[in-house]
Amino acid sequence: MDKGALGKEYEAGTVIVRQGETGDCMFVVQEGQVAATIEQDGQESMLGLLGPGDFFGEMCVFEKQPRGATVRALTNARVLTVDKKGLLRQITVDPTLAFNLLEKMSARIRTLNSQVAWMDGEQNLRK
Amino acid sequence: MAKPGDLKLQDGSRIAVIGGGPAGSFFAYFTLMLADRVGLDLEVDIYEPRDFSLVGPPGCNMCAGIVSESLVQNMAAEGINFPPSVVQRGIDSYVLYMDVGAVRIDSSRREARIGATFRGSGPRDVKDVKWDSLDGYLMNLARDKGAKHIRARVNKVEWDADPATIPLAERRLTLKTQDGKSQTYDFVAVTTGVNTALLKVFQELNIGYDMPRTTKAHIREYYLGDQAIEKYIGASFHAFLPTLPNIEFAAIVPKGEYVTLALLGEDIDNATVDAFMADPAVKQCMPPGFEFDKIACWCGPRINLAGSAQPYGDRIVFVGDSGVTRLYKDGIGAAYRAAKAASTNVVFHGIAREDLAKHYGAFCRAMESDNNLGKFMFAVVRQIQRFRFSRRAILRMAMEEQKRPPTAHGGMSMVLWDMFTGSAPYGDVFKRTLHPVFWSNLAWNMAVCLVGRQDVSRPTQSALESGNQ
Ligand SMILES: Cc1cc2nc3c(=O)[nH]c(=O)nc-3n(C[C@H](O)[C@H](O)[C@H](O)COP(=O)(O)OP(=O)(O)OC[C@H]3O[C@@H](n4cnc5c(N)ncnc54)[C@H](O)[C@@H]3O)c2cc1C
């Protein structure tokens, strides 16, 4: 790892968080690429690829639910952990700290909406 | 008189930020970010005479350059990730030295989440600059958001109309620079820090501002080279609690091929620095035979002991060291939090004195009361340092904890970690010390150290490096 690098390095293929685990932090990718996958009924589906500046694991910060996805390093990746308690505490003092997180989460919902609409369209075409 | 909330920024309002250190750049960045979110079109000028790309004092804002764990995380949540070109060393542990021994304490997540940075472009003797300045990086973030950098020193600030006869809504503040130019603004953020004569001008402006109380600190930079850094300093922050009367705390921090030595306390003079250098603990930390007089760069900046009682007035706010900051620790993180409180205030709540007193003032008062707790805790540390057995008890307790997995309450290790890295408010550190397990462990270690006379064994260098004592 570069001497000035912050966070922790994960070799390609390493699991960073596992679906179903309880979590007390979120993560921000600093370098490299990670992949988020979800396992349902024994089948693994790819949710998306994340790169520098992207975050994951944020659902655990706002919901009391186990991790919803498994995230693996796709390339060698460097990832910074952000503690849930510290983050929530700072958001109570400075609610605007949540703006960036809300913006990214809202962008994800927007992408999901268009994917659902596209899948609906596909199904209608098949009917 | 304007009622609270009456006097607000509007489209086209002009803001001057005096000083482009962390407080100034954060204030400009977040004010523009928040204004953009609510569709408010502002003009922000940052006055900053320094060129942060220069090495030595002309490019440097004189500090140890530690970006705290909480600031690194908050910035990541804001979408700002410090690149390795700005961070000269990721810190994942610290070593605490006392005359009775030393202990290495690892970050709870075993992760490099503290950044050691150069505020400018490095010590005076650097020939080949291989890194970016922290202040330059933050200033560029503000510029990318739309702030304009005016490379000039402000030497006068005054009302453009007589405050005795003209209502606040109709008068503005005018800034004059050393080159004789002047401009008028709707709002002024003073982010000059405390190493400037300009603060006196604001006392004469009769806005109720009083200057922070400060004292002199000391910083030195030494060239060690890559190999010596790896062998003796590593990725640790080296903290010292010397028994010298006017030093509260000292630190040696690795940055690239250099280390920064920072001494904090009251009125630190050369004699105090020399006495500190002669301390065996300092010699233990540095390479054998190290020549302490080969200084690459040094400065004696002022550091805050108490904040301004009223860091705001009509159309003006004092952010960062020139207003209120954290006692001894995390000044850059404090500048970030204060800048956010101030920018939220001016974008959402108004720019009259009453508005600032209600929102930004509340933030400043909370920080000052936390500092008062910090003062009390440093006084307790001083008392503990008076007795050899209690010094040994603290080290012993932290060492025993480091052999086991971290616990929820954190124990002595977390108390020391938060106190010396500045990662948490003093209130949080204090609460940790109230935990019954903390007290029972401390009492046990005190008893052991009172009975047993031998010092806590000094960890070897390799043990300090690996964290296994
Ligand atoms: C010895 C020492 C060690 C420290 N170590 C740390 C540390 O490791 N980590 C940490 O977080 N904090 C540390 N601090 C505290 C930290 O340096 C300050 O809290 C922080 O720099 C405050 O930022 P600021 O923007 O308010 O002021 P400054 O950083 O002082 O910046 C003020 C800026 O205003 C400019 N300016 C001044 N006058 C004028 C003028 N008239 N016109 C235009 N511009 C002007 C200056 O050129 C400067 O760029 C340390 C302080 C000291 C003294």
Name the residue among B187, B208, B191 with its Cα closest to residue B154: B191
Residue A89 inside a domain? The answer is no
Instruction: From chain A, pick out residues whose CB is under 8 angstroms from the CB of B256.
Output: 3-4
Q: With a 6 A CB cut-off, is B262 part of the ligand 1 pocket?
A: yes
- B337 and A94 within 8 Å at the Cβ level: the answer is yes
Provide mean pLDDT across the span B189-214. Answer: 94
Q: What's the pLDDT score for residue B468?
A: 39
Share of chain B above pLDDT 90, in %: 75
Q: What's the pLDDT score for residue B464?
A: 52
| A3 plus A58 within the same structural domain | yes
Residue A115 inside a domain? The answer is yes
Provide the 3-class DSSP secondary structure of residue B254.
Answer: strand
The verdict on A109 touching B (C-beta cutoff 8 Å) is no
Q: How far is B39 from chain A (nearest CA, A)?
A: 15
Residue entry with tokens 């080290």: B395
Q: Taking CA atoms, what residue in A is nearest to B82?
A: A6
Q: So what's the ipTM on this one?
A: 0.95
Which residues, 6 or more positions from B330, have their beta carbon under 8 angstroms from its beta carbon?
A: B66, B68, B70, B71, B422, B423
Q: Which residues pair with B150 in a beta bridge?
A: B47
Atom number in ligand 1 closest to CA B322: 26
Tokens describing residue B124: 């005076």
- A28 and B81 within 8 Å at the Cβ level: the answer is yes
Backbone angles phi, psi at A96, to 5 degrees: -70, -15
pLDDT band at B422 (very low <50, low <70, confident <90, very high): confident
Q: What's the pLDDT score for residue B467?
A: 41
Name the residue among B296, B244, B294 with its Cα closest to residue B272: B244
Q: How far is A37 from chain B (nearest CA, A)?
A: 23
Q: What's the pLDDT score for residue B456?
A: 54
**Closest CB from A7, A90, A104 relative to B111:** A7
Say how far residue B371 (Cα) sits from the centre of its chain.
13
Tokens describing residue B277: 């250098």
Q: Atom 9, ligand 1: which residue's CA is nearest?
A: B66
Tokens describing residue B299: 């400065």
At B72-124, the pLDDT tens digits run 999 999 999 999 999 999 999 999 998 888 999 988 888 999 999 999 999 99
Provide mean pLDDT across the span B432-452. Answer: 90
Name the residue with higher pLDDT: B452 or B60: B60
Residue A120 inside a domain? The answer is yes
Q: Atom 52, ligand 1: which residue's CA is nearest?
A: B63
Q: How far apart are CA B216 and CA B220, in angstroms?
A: 14
Q: What's the pLDDT score for residue B306?
A: 96
Burial (CB < 10 A; 0-12, 13-18, 19+), residue A89, is: middle
| A67 plus A108 within the same structural domain | no
Q: With a 6 A CB cut-off, is B425 part of the ligand 1 pocket?
A: no
pLDDT band at B4 (very low <50, low <70, confident <90, very high): low
Q: Atom 19, ligand 1: which residue's CA is nearest?
A: B331
Q: How far is B210 from chain A (nearest CA, A)?
A: 26
Flag the least confident range among A5-14, B56-65, B206-215, B397-406: B397-406
Q: Taking CA atoms, what residue in B is nearest to A91?
A: B74
Atom number in ligand 1 closest to CA B319: 26
At B110-138, the pLDDT tens digits run 899 999 999 999 999 888 888 899 999 99
pLDDT averaged over chain B? 92
Burial (CB < 10 A; 0-12, 13-18, 19+), residue B403, is: exposed
| A29 plus A70 within the same structural domain | yes
Q: How far is B34 from chain A (nearest CA, A)?
A: 8
pTM: 0.95
| A104 plus A50 within the same structural domain | no
H-state helical runs in B186-269: 199-204, 226-228
Flag the least confident range among B6-15, B53-62, B125-134: B125-134
Q: Taking CA atoms, what residue in B is nearest to A10?
A: B111
Q: What's the pLDDT score for residue B466?
A: 44
Q: How far is A53 from chain B (nearest CA, A)?
A: 6
Tokens describing residue A38: 């979800």
Which long-range contacts link B156-162 to residues 24+ away (Cβ below 8 Å)? B156/B201, B157/B18, B157/B188, B157/B198, B157/B201, B157/B202, B157/B205, B158/B205, B159/B205, B160/B184
Which residues, 6 or more positions from B200, have their beta carbon under 8 angstroms from its beta carbon?
A: B211
- B70 and A6 within 8 Å at the Cβ level: the answer is no
Q: Atom 28, ligand 1: which residue's CA is nearest?
A: B193
How many of the other CB atoms lie within 10 Å of CB of B88?
A: 25
Inter-CA distances, A68 with A34, A63, B128, Å:
15, 11, 48
- Contact status, residue B44 vs residue B183, Cβ threshold 8 Å: no
| A111 plus A74 within the same structural domain | no
Provide mean pLDDT across the span B372-398. Answer: 90
Tokens describing residue B273: 């620095």
Q: How far apart are CA A87 and CA A93, in angstroms?
A: 10
Instruction: From chain B, pick out residues whose CB is under 8 angstroms from the CB of A82.
Output: 73, 76-77
| A49 plus A100 within the same structural domain | no
User: Angle CA(A89)–CA(A85)–CA(B30) in degrees, nearest 5?
Assistant: 45
Provide the 3-class DSSP secondary structure of residue B169.
Answer: helix
Q: How far apart are CA B165 and CA B176, in angstroms?
A: 23
Residue A125 inside a domain? The answer is yes
Q: With a 6 A CB cut-off, is B24 part of the ligand 1 pocket?
A: yes
Name the residue among B143, B137, B128 with its Cα closest to residue B84: B137
Residue A41 inside a domain? The answer is yes
CATH number for the domain including A17? 2.60.120.10
Q: How far apart are CA B74 and CA B85, in angstroms?
A: 19
* Positive/negative CA dihedral, B54, B58, B62, B68: negative
At B138-178, the pLDDT tens digits run 999 999 999 999 999 999 999 999 999 999 999 999 999 99
Q: With a 6 A CB cut-off, is B221 part of the ligand 1 pocket?
A: no
Task: Please name each of the domains of chain B with its CATH number.
Answer: 14-61+135-214+305-373 (3.50.50.60), 83-122+215-303 (3.30.9.100), 374-468 (no CATH)
- Contact status, residue A80 vs residue A28, Cβ threshold 8 Å: yes
- A2 and B74 within 8 Å at the Cβ level: the answer is no
Q: What's the pLDDT score for residue B1?
A: 54
Instruction: From chain B, pick out residues whose CB is under 8 angstroms from the CB of A55.
Output: 76-77
Q: Atom 49, ligand 1: which residue's CA is nearest?
A: B21
Residue A29 inside a domain? The answer is yes
- Contact status, residue B402 vs residue B459, Cβ threshold 8 Å: no
Q: With a 6 A CB cut-off, is B325 part of the ligand 1 pocket?
A: yes
Share of chain B above pLDDT 70, in %: 95
Q: Atom 2, ligand 1: which residue's CA is nearest?
A: B63
Q: How far apart are CA B166 and CA B120, in angstroms?
A: 43
Burial (CB < 10 A; 0-12, 13-18, 19+), residue B31, is: buried
Residue B465: pLDDT over 70: no
Interface A-B: count of C-beta contacts within 8 A: 95
Q: With a 6 A CB cut-off, is B154 part of the ligand 1 pocket?
A: yes
Residue A88 inside a domain? The answer is no
Residue A27 inside a domain? The answer is yes
- B115 and A99 within 8 Å at the Cβ level: the answer is no
Residue B412: pLDDT over 60: yes
Q: How far apart are CA B60 and CA B135, in angstroms?
A: 8
| A7 plus A66 within the same structural domain | yes
Range of the domain at A125: 94-127
| A53 plus A113 within the same structural domain | no
| A24 plus A49 within the same structural domain | yes
Domain count across chain A = 2
SS3 sequence of A39-91: EECCEEEEEEEECCCCEECCHHHHCCCCCCCEEEECCCEEEEEEEHHHHHHHH
| A21 plus A63 within the same structural domain | yes
Q: How far is the CA of B21 from the centre of ligand 1 (A)?
A: 6
Which residues from B are below 8 Å from A when comparing CB atoms?
A: 30, 33-34, 37, 70, 72-74, 76-79, 81-90, 109-113, 115, 131, 235, 256, 337, 340-341, 344, 363
Residue entry with tokens 């006068």: B156
Q: What's the pLDDT score for residue B115?
A: 97
The verdict on A24 touching B (C-beta cutoff 8 Å) is no
pLDDT band at B457 (very low <50, low <70, confident <90, very high): low
Q: Taking CA atoms, what residue in B is nearest to A55?
A: B77
| A109 plus A75 within the same structural domain | no
Residue B234: pLDDT over 50: yes
Q: How far apart are CA B302 and CA B198, in angstroms?
A: 14
Q: How far apart are CA B194 and CA B216, in angstroms?
A: 11
| A72 plus A42 within the same structural domain | yes
Q: How far apart are CA B15 and CA B296, in angstroms?
A: 39
